[in-house]
């Protein structure tokens, strides 16, 4: 790819809507925090840990991801983790982020819900003030755990209702369909939360139908497999239901080993509201810009198509209409004025 397209992507205003904060844990910071908390990692060095980042499927990744998150103990750890992410994406012209955190990954280990969320919220506040990045927080239920467990987590989240915009569903998809969480999602909706679910990453198109019709989600995370079902694809386009795609994640987890075969282009042809994000960038080899570049290179996207994807990111966000319009006009002005 030519340098000018790289430059175009780097300067483009972007919104990150599919990002697990625990997935931004870079090995250097992981070792630093492990040491100050007196925790021992299974790996001797940063290099050894990085070498382990080779995955045949989602579960192999999740095993390492939960292990890494295990060294996060103090409020300060969650603050440092979140701040490092915000500083990183600030250099990439990311203007707005909607971040997932997995409360159960921490409460299961005896860490208080408040320790986790207070650290994340303090960093988000600082990110707004110092870096000008607007943000929202989403709590995700771990789908390999029971619905009862998700109910308990929802209960804890209610104490922070005004600071959490929505709930999500992540972790091991196969065998844990959205239908398992129908009641807890209904309750979350009643409480005023927006709803999202990972669906159709490794799981079948039917799981996307369940997320739509049983959970009544506002957004689908991944959704790659929708193209297996023409009726579903048409329905997603009709509803303008956003799919938050993560190309480097798909490559690394063998969901789509060769990005030249990535479903994104077909989705755009079908008028599906597809967007690009980074998922777990510390593990998958790149943040927002790297995801845009890898996709643009593999699918031979034009500058107009790339700008359209950046616009989709803001359109699919939970920003209020006025803020959305401002970002959209920034993207359009940037694309119109760009010179190589």
Where do contacts with ligand HPA occur on this chain (CB under 6 A)? 20, 23, 58, 170-171, 198, 201, 249, 279-280
**Residue 103 interacting partner from Zn ion, ligand HPA, none (CB closer than 5 to 8 Å by kind):** none
Q: Helices 75-90 & 27-36, crossing angle to 10 degrees?
A: 160
Evaluate the CA torsion angle 227, 233, 234, 238 in order and state its sign: negative
**What angle (nearest 5°) sits at the alpha carbon of residue 282, between those of residues 94 and 117?**
70
Determine the longest span between alpha carbons in the chain, in angstroms: 55
CB of 94 to ligand HPA, least distance (A): 18
Element (H, E) at 141: strand 134-142
Residues 276-315 that bind Zn ion (CB under 5 A): 279
How many residues sit close enough to Zn ion to count as binding (CB under 5 A)?
A: 1
| DSSP 8-state code for residue 19 | B
At residue 336, φ and ψ (nearest 5 deg) are -70, -35
CB of 246 to Zn ion, least distance (A): 6
CB of 249 to ligand HPA, least distance (A): 5
Give the full edge-to-edge strand order of the sheet including 94-101.
14-16, 94-101, 134-142, 166-170, 194-199, 219-222, 242-245, 274-276
Residue whose CB is less far from ligand HPA, 117 or 306 = 117
CB of 298 to Zn ion, least distance (A): 20
**Residue 77 interacting partner from ligand HPA, Zn ion, none (CB closer than 5 to 8 Å by kind):** none
**Residue 201 interacting partner from ligand HPA, Zn ion, none (CB closer than 5 to 8 Å by kind):** ligand HPA
Answer yes or no: 201 catalytic.
yes
d(CA 20, CA 130): 22
CB of 20 to Zn ion, least distance (A): 6
Q: Tokens in use for 30?
A: 């992981």
Question: Of residues 22, 173, 201, 311, which has the active-site annotation?
Answer: 201
CB of 100 to Zn ion, least distance (A): 7
d(CA 17, CA 165): 12
Using alpha carbons, list the distances in angstroms from residue 134 to 56, 110, 247, 318: 35, 30, 24, 11
Asked if 120 and 78 touch (Cβ cutoff 8 Å), the reply is: yes
Residue whose CB is less far from ligand HPA, 246 or 306 = 246
**Residue 58 interacting partner from Zn ion, ligand HPA, none (CB closer than 5 to 8 Å by kind):** ligand HPA
At residue 54, φ and ψ (nearest 5 deg) are -135, 115
Residue whose CB is less far from Zn ion, 77 or 279 = 279
**Residue 171 interacting partner from ligand HPA, Zn ion, none (CB closer than 5 to 8 Å by kind):** ligand HPA
Residue whose CB is less far from Zn ion, 14 or 252 = 252
Token match 């100050």: residue?
Answer: 36
Residue whose CB is less far from ligand HPA, 198 or 327 = 198
Regarding 98 and contact with Zn ion (CB under 5 A), the answer is no
SS3 340: coil
Site string for Zn ion, 241-280 (x = CB under 5 A): --------------------------------------x-
Which positions touch Zn ion (CB under 5 A)? 279
Tell me the catalytic residues: 201
């Amino acid at each position: 790819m030519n340098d000018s397209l790289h430059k175009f992507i780097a300067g483009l205003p972007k919104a990150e809507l599919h990002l697990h904060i625990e997935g931004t844990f870079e090995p250097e910071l992981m070792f630093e925090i492990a040491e100050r908390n007196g925790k021992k990692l299974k790996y001797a060095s940063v290099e050894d840990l990085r070498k382990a980042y080779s995955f045949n499927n989602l579960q192999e990744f999740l095993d390492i991801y939960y292990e890494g998150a295990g060294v996060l103990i103090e409020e300060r750890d969650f603050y440092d983790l979140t701040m490092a992410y915000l500083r990183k994406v600030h250099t990439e012209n990311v203007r707005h982020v909607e971040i997932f955190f997995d409360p159960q990954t921490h409460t299961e280990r005896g860490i208080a819900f408040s320790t986790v969320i207070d650290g994340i919220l303090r960093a988000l506040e600082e990110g707004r003030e110092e870096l000008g990045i607007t943000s929202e927080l989403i709590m995700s239920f771990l789908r390999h755990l029971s619905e009862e467990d998700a109910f308990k987590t929802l209960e804890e989240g209610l104490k922070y209702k005004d600071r959490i915009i929505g709930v999500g569903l992540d972790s091991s998809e196969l065998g844990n369909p959205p239908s398992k969480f129908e009641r807890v999602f209904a309750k979350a909706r009643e409480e005023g939360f927006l709803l999202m679910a990972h669906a159709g990453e490794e799981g079948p198109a039917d799981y996307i139908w369940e997320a739509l019709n049983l959970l009544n989600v506002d957004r689908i995370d991944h959704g790659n497999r929708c193209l297996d079902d023409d009726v579903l694809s048409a329905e997603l386009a009709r509803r303008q239901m956003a799919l938050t795609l993560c190309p480097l994640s798909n490559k690394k987890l063998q969901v789509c080993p060769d990005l030249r075969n990535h479903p994104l282009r077909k989705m755009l042809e079908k008028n599906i509201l597809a967007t690009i994000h980074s998922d777990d960038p510390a593990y998958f080899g790149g943040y927002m810009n790297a995801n845009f570049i890898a996709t643009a290179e593999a699918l031979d996207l034009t500058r107009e198509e790339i700008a359209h994807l950046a616009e989709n990111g803001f359109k699919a966000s939970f920003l209020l209409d006025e803020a959305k319009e401002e970002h959209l006009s920034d993207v359009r002005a940037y694309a119109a004025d760009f010179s190589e």
